Amino acid sequence: MAKKGSKRGAPGGGSLRRKQVKKGEKVYAYWEARITTGFDPGTGRQTQRSFSGKTQKEVREKMQAALVELARHEYREPTKITVGEWLDIWEKDYLNSVKPLTRLNYAQHIKNHIRPALGGKRLDELVGADIQRFYNQLIKTGRKMPKHTKSGNSAKKDGKNVCVSASLSAKTVKNIHGVLHRALQQAVKLGYIRTNPADTCDLAKTEKREITPLDADATAKFMDAIRGHTFETLYLTMLFTGMRRGEACGLLWDCVDLDKGTITINKQLQNIPGERGCYRLVSTKNGKGRTLKVASFVVNLLLQHMEAQEKAKLNAGPLWHDEGYVFCNDIGEHLSPHTVYHNFKRIVASIGMPNARLHDLRHSYAVASLQARDDVKTVQSNLGHHTASFTLDVYGHVTEQMKQASAARLDEYIKLVQHEKGN
């Protein structure tokens, strides 16, 4: 005769029942389902998960969805940590390979936007609709900002501070999305959540900022204005190589081969977050190095610059800091990118171009290269863009002009052929 006893439910088993709870004089009814998800390897006891809701249908659907996941071996135990707690972990343990300034930007987006809106929500309960509403609200009203008077104090009404809403640009919201998506994707890899809820979000279209490169006349005017300036060689090198400001300020002589006429760009000078005036060399924006074959004009500039630097080194004597920077101050220390920028702004303002940006020197190089009929792949490589498609996206108007010019040249050729045929 079989021995009587309790039976252990196999994983995937479940039960559904109606329950009541009394609060004060009122009795509340609800439905509860419970499923067996497995067994504790230490005690052998069942591990279970329960679901509750107002209606039997609602709870049954939750239970059946979990049972399907169990059958497909896709089920994961829910995590009890909040979005805010996960962001703390992610910031601390998973951003070690990120540049310091980028890490600071991530932290600011989390502190100012993501945590206040979503931090208290359970990580495994966060859905795409929650995130979409968050993004929509940022576009609509941004976040609450204190309204300041002319004296810089918060405006008051009836003794209370008045706050006004400041909407965020689509580009800023896209950056915030990038941070949140990356954090959630790491949670997927670790098994905290099954899918990334940010995948389903629809972002507002960002407005492309119009680039304003220097044309030939403006370039000539600028070159006249910087003649004899302390940063003349630096600005001209940026103008004719497309280097970014941080790349130029972080350029070392070890990366310059004047015999071959090449410059290798594999690092940039970047401010250390939270430490004003302190800089360090970090990798380039895309994390990859590139080697440029530069014009002989640039080679001659750098040869003259090297000779002038050797004289400055002798004059400085023991005060010289031999750090190997191509562009440095009178005692060999690296230049401040902010100083380079502010000097540029003063120069362009003095010649009637106050809206010119230092980054426009890079755009000017790119446009000049394309107009000289350099292929897009070469221009992309020289600029250090991730892809040629990105280069085309930024400088598409130039390529359109080149297409029109090409069509015009073809028309002239066809006319010439027809003329010869007529003769």
β-bridge partners, 80: none
Residue 206 near residue 170 (C-beta atoms within 8 A): yes
Stronger pLDDT, 130 or 72, i.e. the higher one? 130
Tell me if 228 is assigned to some domain. Answer: yes
Tell me if 2 is assigned to some domain. Answer: no
Tell me if 127 is assigned to some domain. Answer: yes
Q: How confident is the model at residue 40 (pLDDT cuts 50, 70, 90)?
A: low
Q: pLDDT digit string (tens) for 361-382?
A: 999 999 888 888 888 888 899 9
Same domain, 245 and 374: yes
* Count of alpha carbons within 13 angstroms of residue 304, beta-carbon side: 12
Rounded average pLDDT over 238-251: 95
Mean pLDDT check: name the lowest of 19-23, 106-110, 379-383. 19-23
Same domain, 311 and 162: no
Same domain, 55 and 127: no
Q: Which H/E stretch holds residue 166?
A: strand 163-166
Domain with 248, as residue range(s), is 216-403
Stronger pLDDT, 75 or 323, i.e. the higher one? 323
Same domain, 150 and 292: no
Tell me if 280 is assigned to some domain. Answer: yes
Mean confidence (pLDDT) of the chain? 83
Same domain, 239 and 379: yes
Tell me if 209 is assigned to some domain. Answer: no
Tell me if 207 is assigned to some domain. Answer: no
Tell me if 161 is assigned to some domain. Answer: yes
**Domain end: 200, 235, 258, which one?**
200
Residue 35 near residue 48 (C-beta atoms within 8 A): yes
Tell me if 3 is assigned to some domain. Answer: no
Rounded average pLDDT over 224-250: 96
User: Could you give the residue ranges of the DSSP H alpha helices within 78-215?
Assistant: 83-93, 100-109, 115-118, 128-141, 170-189
Q: Residue 171 sits in a domain of what CATH number?
A: 1.10.150.130
Q: Which amino acid is at 128?
A: G
Rounded average pLDDT over 223-235: 96
Same domain, 260 and 391: yes
Residue 269 near residue 327 (C-beta atoms within 8 A): no
Percentage above 90 pLDDT, the chain? 48
Same domain, 242 and 381: yes
Residue 1 has pLDDT above 60, yes or no: no
The predicted structure's pLDDT at residue 421: 65
Q: How confident is the model at residue 144 (pLDDT cuts 50, 70, 90)?
A: very low
Stronger pLDDT, 342 or 18, i.e. the higher one? 342
Same domain, 57 and 130: no
DSSP state at residue 318 = G
Same domain, 277 and 373: yes
Residue 367 near residue 398 (C-beta atoms within 8 A): yes
Q: Residue 394 sits in a domain of what CATH number?
A: 1.10.443.10
Q: How confident is the model at residue 96 (pLDDT cuts 50, 70, 90)?
A: confident
Same domain, 280 and 306: yes
The CA distance from 281 to 246, in Å, is 9
pTM for this one?
0.66
Number of domains into which the chain is organized: 3
Same domain, 131 and 89: yes
Mean pLDDT check: name the lowest of 3-12, 314-323, 363-372, 392-401. 3-12
Same domain, 228 and 358: yes
- Encoded tokens for 261: 């006429």
Between the two ends of the chain, the Cα-to-Cα distance in Å is 116
Q: How confident is the model at residue 17 (pLDDT cuts 50, 70, 90)?
A: confident
Q: Is 144 left (phi over 0), alpha (psi -120 to 50) or beta?
A: beta
The torsion defined by the Cα of 196, 199, 204 and 207, in degrees rounded to 10, comes to: 100
